[in-house]
Amino acid sequence: MMGTQSAPAQLFYDFDLDRHVPQNHMLREIDRFLDVDGMRDLLRPFYSHLGRPSIDPELIVRMLVVGYVMGIRSERRLCDEVHLNLAYRWFCRLGLDGGVPDHSTFSKYRHGKFRESDLLRQVFEATVERCLKEDLVSGEGFAVDASLIPADANKGRSLAVADWSPEVARRVGNRAAREYLETLDDAAFGAASPVHPKFIAKSDPAAQWQRAEEGRPYFAYATNYLIDTKSSVIMDVEATRAIRQAEVGASRTMLDRTEARFGIKPEWLAADTAYGNAENLGWLVKQRSIIPFIPVIDKSERTDGTWSRSDFEWDAENDQYICPEGHALKQFRRNYSDPNRGKDITGTQKYRALKATCQVCPSKGRCCPNADARAVTREPHEDARDVARASRKTKAYKVSRDKRKKVEMLFAHLKRILNLTRLRLRGPNGAKDEFLLAAIAQNLRKLAKLRPQSALQEAIS
């Protein structure tokens, strides 16, 4: 006989919300690691002691975490999902009767108390501390990389850089434009490079006009990750313009901030060629004593078949180069009374061979066929570049090259699982908020995956 379903007409229900959330649910695992205990103490100076009680800031943070962990990009849809989903209600401590705040509340908190108190940065650092406590961070080796995220800006509503005026943007009063004007001296944005992009978006001037290798150009920001290579924990995250200079500067900022906040400095750092300029390698080797597992940007190699600088052996003890024929190239061949004489203001040093030696050398055709004598330049921080070249020949470099791919996997997870394929918020602060929340979600998911509740219960029993 065919059965039928009927809704029982009961006046009272005995309903336990906790029993209806599966024990292996992602949010139940994450709830063990989300630390919001100090949130109210941090925000208390930004509230008045008079007036009506506000919406609990912990509720706002928990709802944002739900949105980024579960890949819900729209705040309107997030409010609807929290209202309907029992697991989301349990995680947000709403029970069955708790009211869900309006979607506009997120903007008020984001542009107000959260940004003034830097709350999202505090929550992110709390997740990193929990990863440290759970022994997911070794601190031995870090990897750094950047990925482009399209901004909420339309090419059709952009202006050529010559037609854009900061004064007009200041008068219009657009929030994203005001934030851009405030970051003109910031090394991650306006001061990253004196070169201006071809187009500027009126709705989000800080977004970088980016010419993609495949497909159409677009406006974008760069999210920069510094990760520990043991378990791919994100140690720090930074939002910058989508240009190489800003990304390299962000790597230094994140390394300094990680050491200042957690007391951790890696023994080595893995990165791609974009981070292999002389200045950055000099900073890593000389100032931070970090081994750079980074390919060197070297434009000294010749393609005409003659000897390149790499064919000459550097003799540091005698401050000279030795050519393949065994002759010395010196910077100075006599002592000057003025110590500054002969120095290049750019820091580049030039080493020359004797003309008489080169003229009778049997290898002159392979060395300097169009010059009377051979000269070799030594760029600033060349000693640090030599350290990077030497480290590339080690077995540890090959291991670091494989571990560096973990950053790329995190970016793939960011875009495909967390659905962060385009920013919703505008301006530098909006990009920072989104990237911080995404990094919080990824670290929490990492904790839930590597330290599940079931393994804890087995260890206790």
| Tens-place pLDDT, residues 22-69 | 888 999 999 999 988 777 777 777 777 777 777 888 899 999 999 999
CA distances 229 to 8, 9, 223, 225, 299, Å, are: 55, 57, 18, 12, 30
Check pLDDT > 80 for residue 136: yes
Determine, yes or no, domain membership for 164: yes
Mean pLDDT over 105-119 rounds to 84
| Average pLDDT for the chain | 87
Determine, yes or no, domain membership for 124: no
Which residues have a Cβ under 8 Å from the Cβ of 262 and sit 6 or more positions away? 128, 129, 132, 235
Determine, yes or no, domain membership for 406: yes
Residue type, 452: P
Determine, yes or no, domain membership for 65: yes
Number of domains in the chain: 3
172 and 255 fall within a common domain: yes
Contact 410, 385 (CB under 8 A): no
Which residues have a Cβ under 8 Å from the Cβ of 415 and sit 6 or more positions away? 147, 149, 421
Phi/psi of residue 147, nearest 5 degrees: -135, 145
Which residues have a Cβ under 8 Å from the Cβ of 417 and sit 6 or more positions away? 71
User: Among 103-112, 258-267, 413-422, which stretch is predicted with the lowest mean pLDDT?
Assistant: 103-112
288 and 421 fall within a common domain: yes
The 10s digit of each residue's pLDDT in 299-319 is: 888 888 899 988 999 898 888
The 10s digit of each residue's pLDDT in 270-285 is: 999 999 999 999 999 9
Query: And the tokens for 344?
Result: 């290049």
Query: Can you give the pLDDT at residue 343?
Result: 57
Check pLDDT > 60 for residue 424: yes
408 and 330 fall within a common domain: no
CA atoms in the 13 A half-sphere facing the CB of 386: 14
The 10s digit of each residue's pLDDT in 344-380 is: 556 788 899 999 999 999 999 999 998 999 999 888 8
**Beta bridge partners of residue 143, listed in sequence order:** 227, 270
95 and 157 fall within a common domain: no
Determine, yes or no, domain membership for 5: no
290 and 400 fall within a common domain: yes
Mean pLDDT over 63-89 rounds to 93
CA atoms in the 13 A half-sphere facing the CB of 368: 19
Q: Which of 114, 129, 117, 113 is nearest to 236 (CA)?
A: 129
Check pLDDT > 70 for residue 218: yes
CA atoms in the 13 A half-sphere facing the CB of 234: 32
Contact 320, 329 (CB under 8 A): yes
Confidence of residue 198 (pLDDT cuts 50, 70, 90): confident
Determine, yes or no, domain membership for 183: yes
Query: Can you give the pLDDT at residue 337?
Result: 60
Determine, yes or no, domain membership for 152: yes
Q: Which of 365, 361, 345, 341 is nearest to 353 (CA)?
A: 361
Query: Can you give the pLDDT at residue 431?
Result: 93
Contact 134, 451 (CB under 8 A): yes
Query: Can you give the pLDDT at residue 72?
Result: 93
- Domain that includes residue 63, residue range: 17-117
Check pLDDT > 60 for residue 147: yes
Q: pTM of the full predicted structure?
A: 0.88
Query: Can you give the pLDDT at residue 413?
Result: 96
340 and 233 fall within a common domain: no
Confidence of residue 8 (pLDDT cuts 50, 70, 90): low
Check pLDDT > 60 for residue 459: no
352 and 403 fall within a common domain: no
Q: Which of 437, 416, 417 is nearest to 425 (CA)?
A: 437
Question: CA 88, CA 77: separation in Å to the nearest integer?
Answer: 13
184 and 74 fall within a common domain: no
Check pLDDT > 70 for residue 335: no
Contact 89, 82 (CB under 8 A): yes
Residue 159 belongs to domain with CATH number: 3.30.420
Would you call 351 helix, strand, or coil by DSSP?
A: strand
288 and 344 fall within a common domain: no
265 and 402 fall within a common domain: yes
Question: CA 15, CA 21: separation in Å to the nearest integer?
Answer: 12
239 and 316 fall within a common domain: no
Determine, yes or no, domain membership for 415: yes
Helix H, strand E, coil C: the string for 14-62 is CCCHHHHCCCCCHHHHHHCCCCCCCHHHHHHHHCCCCCCCCCCHHHHHH
The 10s digit of each residue's pLDDT in 204-216 is: 888 999 876 667 8
Would you call 278 helix, strand, or coil by DSSP?
A: helix
Q: Encode burial over 229-240: b for 16+ CB neighbours within 10 A, e otherwise.
A: bbbbbbbbbbbb
Query: Can you give the pLDDT at residue 345?
Result: 54
289 and 324 fall within a common domain: no
CA atoms in the 13 A half-sphere facing the CB of 349: 15
